[in-house]
Chain A
């Protein structure tokens, strides 16, 4: 069955970089895109970016200078890197599988999320 699981550092100091790994199973990263979404405590969802099956990427315009998404198809892993962290980057970060074949790019499977706190 399809599963996604995020793993992250939990706590990151301001101005440092955040790296999160999303390990997937049950589908091929060459066939489906994976998006990253975050949710600050008590707030709504924010789409960050997507890496498509062919390896191309799209990023949120507000984060394009700080955000990088990459993947290793052979390891079924997708990576998020966010630079120059500030306190308002504190959030739960989710990876999610998109399904352009069935659901018009809507995200049909989500990871459990990993909580990241930016604090010194």
Chain B
């Protein structure tokens, strides 16, 4: 099974700052990666698919990058509604493993 290592596990940031979350796969996943946002008590929501493409309705301050085994989610100029948890997930063969998650908190 492919393992997804996500970092950092938590991050305390202020509104307006820029953050980067990373995900490392245990083998090449050929950009078959998605990012999700989950707010407290809510279901996850798709942000990025195929490593670099924004899902419908996702603000342009979000961006995904990476290839091979290393991927990143960048959020420019954090807004209050961006706080919550973020997860990566690969789709290069089942099981479609998630990363451990990153909790983004307000400083």
Contacts and interface: CB of A to CB of B under 8 A. Distances in A.
A44 B101 CA distance: 6
Contact of A35 (B32, B96, B97): B96
A103 B46 CA distance: 9
Given A111-B43, A112-B43, A106 B89 contact: yes
Contact of B87 (A44, A49, A60, A105): A44
Q: How large is the interface on A (under 10, 10 to 19, 20 to 34, 35 or more residues)?
A: 20 to 34
Interface residues of B, number: 23
Contact of B91 (A45, A105, A111, A112): A105
Nearest to B87: A45
8 contacts: A35-B96, A44-B98, A45-B89, A45-B101, A50-B94, A50-B96, A96-B44, A110-B45
A-B pairs, 10 with minimum CB distance: A106-B34, A110-B43, A58-B94, A103-B49, A106-B49, A44-B101, A60-B95, A105-B91, A45-B98, A104-B50
